[in-house]
Amino acid sequence: MKITDVKTTHFTVITRTERDTDGHGHPGPERENTATMLQIDTDEGVSGYWFGANASVMETVIKPAIVGKDPFMREEIWHDLNERQRLNMGVMSDKVLCSVDLALWDLAGRALDIPCYKMIGGYRDKVPAYASTMCGDDLENGLATPEDYARFAEWAMKRGYPAFKLHTWQPPYEGAPSVKNDLGACAAVRDVVGPDVPCMLDPYHYYDREAALALARGLEELDYYWMEEPMDEHSMSSYIWLTENTSLAICGPETCEGKMYVRAEWIKAGACDISRCGVGDVGGLTPLLKTIHLCESYNMRCEIHGGGFGNLTALCAMKNGEFYERGLLHPFLDHDRPAEYLHEVADPMDEQGFVHISQLPGLGMNINFDYIEKNKV
């Protein structure tokens, strides 16, 4: 089989979220937006798909690199693109590598008529989820106060979520960042969910060491399960210092560049208790699996960052990751409603809080091709 084309299709979707000046998502007015479908075609009529791609990078960099190649040679293609990334960093981010890699996994699963998690070697077909909130805001009855987080945690418990993670306030919100406010929200959540529910915190990502330690000490008292990214992750020494000074589990790195290589360094240096990455952080499912297996060799959990079809596929083909991150959730948004271009959400969750993986071939996306065709731009 040979790759014959790399195509992108733009189409309109309805969005109910918007980004603040720092890039964090929040509920917003309902409006039209443009989405992009990546499609990799072959000479045998089978194609692979993924959503989210930069059309000009696909046309000018990726297409010349992969047309003519065997789509089943994912490892070779990934390494080739990874090497080309070095001098094309301005356009070829890890997100670009991720889109190509995921479309190739999807293609292989569709060609063989098997879900990708079973193609890798399945471990389970459902994973417990945690409710992962959006970052704090100033919306009335949104996520503006500790009481708002508590009310939302109460709702999450009723919905069946077995665990809860707060993303607290970050600039540009007034009063953010604040260790006191973060701990206030964490305490209010612990109060309503009781002592047995695992709770996690992902706060402002640029605290200094003393602030990060104060947060960790507060969370030790509240018996929190882990904390993510309280400081800039480029300073691994700061994370070694933090893990040495707290009994709270520190989970990371999440957004730090460097794929599986940087995660290996963090584990070796003792900079984290739990490792972390998702398909978008390391350049696809191929490098995510390498990282998961690296962690497994150190008896370390790798908690997967973010949801979606690619991350759920990894979670259903691994043992050393406990939770699926379902979100980012907000009291004003309905996560159970699929985007118009999909017939089903990526992560249907039952009343016991388990997310079930699709049994469709490939990554499990049930794509509404008619919708995409009708709303092409």
C-alpha span between 365 and 368 (Å, rounded): 9
Which listed option, ligand LLH, Mg ion, none, makes contact with residue 135 (CB within 5 to 8 Å by class)? ligand LLH
Let me know: does 272 contact 266? Beta carbons within 8 Å: yes
Among 41, 106, 202, 322, binds Mg ion (CB under 5 A): 202
- Coil, helix or strand at residue 7: strand
**What gap in Å lies between CA 56 and CA 29, rounded to an integer?**
29
Partner interacting with residue 24 (select from ligand LLH, Mg ion, none; CB below 5-8 Å by kind): ligand LLH
Nearest-CA neighbor of 333 among 28, 21, 19, 51? 28
360: Cα separation from own chain's centroid: 21
Task: Say how far apart CA 183 and CA 203 lie, in whole Å.
Answer: 10
Q: 33 pairs with which residues across the strands? A: 13
* Closest among 148, 130, 128, 129 to 27, alpha carbons compared: 148
Pick from 225, 279, 285, 277: which is nearest to 256 by CA? 277
Q: Is residue 301 close enough to count as binding ligand LLH by CB under 6 A?
A: no
Rounded Cα distance, 287 and 261, in Å: 10
Residue closer to ligand LLH by CB (options 228, 233) is 228
- Residue selected from 137, 228, 322, 347 as contacting Mg ion according to rule CB under 5 A: 228
In contact, 250 and 278? CB cutoff 8 Å: no
- Helix%, strand%, coil% for the chain, nearest 5: 35, 20, 40
Contact 67, 6 (CB under 8 A): yes
Residue with nearest beta carbon to ligand LLH: 24
Which residues pair with residue 200 across a beta bridge? 165, 226
Rounded distance between C-alpha atoms, residue 88 and residue 94, angstroms? 11
Q: Is 52 helix (H, G, I), strand (E, B) or coil?
A: coil
In the shown chain, the binding pattern of residues 238 to 277 toward ligand LLH, with x for contact by CB under 6 A and - for none, equals ----------------x-----------------------
Residue 290 in the binding site for ligand LLH (CB under 6 A): no
- Which option in ligand LLH, Mg ion, none does residue 281 bind, with CB closer than 5 to 8 A by kind? none
Q: Are 248 and 226 in contact (CB under 8 A)?
A: yes
Partner whose binding site includes residue 233, from Mg ion, ligand LLH, none (CB under 5 to 8 Å by kind): none
Q: How far is residue 132's CA from residue 336's CA, in Å, rounded to a whole number?
A: 14
Q: Which of residues 185-204 bind ligand LLH (CB under 6 A)?
A: 202
Nearer to ligand LLH by Cβ, of 106 and 202: the residue is: 202
- With CB under 6 A as the contact rule, the residue among 48, 71, 284, 306 that binds ligand LLH is 306
Among 305, 316, 322, 329, binds ligand LLH (CB under 6 A): 305
Separation of alpha carbons 213 and 306, rounded Å: 25
- Residue 26: name its binding partner from ligand LLH, Mg ion, none (Cβ under 5 to 8 Å by kind): none
Q: Binding string to ligand LLH for residues 19 to 58, with x set by CB under 6 A, is what? A: -----x----------------------------------
167: partner contacted, choices ligand LLH, Mg ion, none (Cβ within 5-8 A by kind): ligand LLH
Work out whether 110 is an interface residue with ligand LLH (CB under 6 A): no
- Toward ligand LLH, which CB reaches closer, 23 or 45? 23
β-bridge partners, 250: 227
Q: Tell me the closest approach of the beta carbon of residue 219 to ligand LLH, in angstroms.
A: 16
From ligand LLH, Mg ion, none, which one binds at residue 190 (CB under 5 to 8 Å depending on kind)?
none
Which tokens is 305 given? Answer: 């960052």
Q: Which of 26, 110, 126, 167 binds ligand LLH (CB under 6 A)?
A: 167
Which of ligand LLH, Mg ion, none sits in contact with 306, Cβ below 5 to 8 A by type?
ligand LLH
CB under 5 A: which stretch of 92-100, 180-188, 195-203, 358-366 binds Mg ion?
Answer: 195-203
Give least dist CB 165 to ligand LLH, A: 7
Per CB under 6 A, residues contacting ligand LLH are 24, 135, 167, 202, 228, 254, 305-306, 325
Per CB under 5 A, residues contacting Mg ion are 202, 228, 254
